[in-house]
Structure 1
């Protein structure tokens, strides 16, 4: 009788160890160990063409409007940003497309997409924005900060005839 009693007792010990919760915990433990020890593929970064900082005039900025394969640049407060990553917004057909290849400062400051906000005379002086009020200048500063956080500065905008515009490109 003792043999039978030991056999039943041994069976009870195994049923305590192999419970559904213990099986779930064991599988979870194995999964966590696998996730920690599994090989990870090397990190790949997107390739970009190197960007050279350069000086633009309104006329030399104009071709960077996103038509075809050209990048999309626009100027905000004298800085030229590569907004190609936002081509859906700034490229052809986008809501801000009229700013592509141009100085967008006045339009952004005034919250207007109207063509009258853009420089018409590409060979004339740059818009000094001196007639804008504090509210518009604060709005422009906000836009400029947004662009600095999101896009790369690729150059600066200078008027035609300035010493910087006339300097040879490297």
Structure 2
């Protein structure tokens, strides 16, 4: 049996075999050099930019209040003197979220009492809530929230009294 290159089928078959061998031996030679247009505008897992770094620092009720999520701002809240960055939970703590009243505030009493009402918040120009009237069960509730926040969000500071100026 002989191989006749004069037949178009045999010529096509030979070219195909040579093409396949070339792709196996030199794979990068046949790879496209640029990204096709259809992939340039599609979704990517890479973030558009790194979020600004938030250093651990000391906050007062007055300095914490701007971090309420308005205008794309970070969202911080405090529980028993620990400040958490809850920006990742913007749907819950940001403007319009069901816990938005805790954004930029000390949420200790509300978390302890499982109440998300405005009257659970101490005004920012008043001394910090000492939480002395809480029951054991309410303190356990607050500790449970602290454990939840510590496992889910970044601890970024501590909350202290306003300056006495």
TM-score (norm 1): 0.66
Pick the aligned partner of 1:72 from 63, 72, 75. 75
What is the DSSP-based 3-state SS (H/G/I as helix, E as strand, rest coil) of the residue aligned with 1:64? Answer: coil
Residue 56 (structure 1) aligns with: 59
Hey, what's the Cα distance between the residues in 2 that align with 1:78 and 1:126? 9
1:81 aligns with 2:81: no
In the TM superposition, residue 45 of structure 1 has moved relative to its aligned partner by: 7.1
Corresponding pairs, count: 119
What is the DSSP-based 3-state SS (H/G/I as helix, E as strand, rest coil) of the residue aligned with 1:80? Answer: strand
For residues 1-170 of structure 1, the aligned pairs below 5 Å read: 47-120=50-123, 122-161=124-163
* Superimposed CA distance per residue, residues 64-94 of structure 1 (whole angstroms, 9 cap, x where no aligned partner): 0001121000001101100000000000000
* Superimposed CA distance per residue, residues 17-68 of structure 1 (whole angstroms, 9 cap, x where no aligned partner): xxxxxxxxxxxxxxxxxxxxxxxxxxx8753322211111111111100011
Hey, what's the Cα distance between the residues in 2 that align with 1:103 and 1:50? 22
Hey, what's the Cα distance between the residues in 1 that align with 2:53 and 2:163? 28
* Superimposed CA distance per residue, residues 129-158 of structure 1 (whole angstroms, 9 cap, x where no aligned partner): 111000000000000000000000111110
What is the DSSP-based 3-state SS (H/G/I as helix, E as strand, rest coil) of the residue aligned with 2:138? Answer: helix
TM-score (norm 2): 0.68
For the 8 Å contact 1:123–1:159, the answer to whether it is kept is no
For the 8 Å contact 1:66–1:100, the answer to whether it is kept is yes
For the 8 Å contact 1:109–1:136, the answer to whether it is kept is yes
Gap runs ≥5 in structure 1: 1-43
Structure with greater proportional helix content: 1
RMSD value, Cα: 1.7
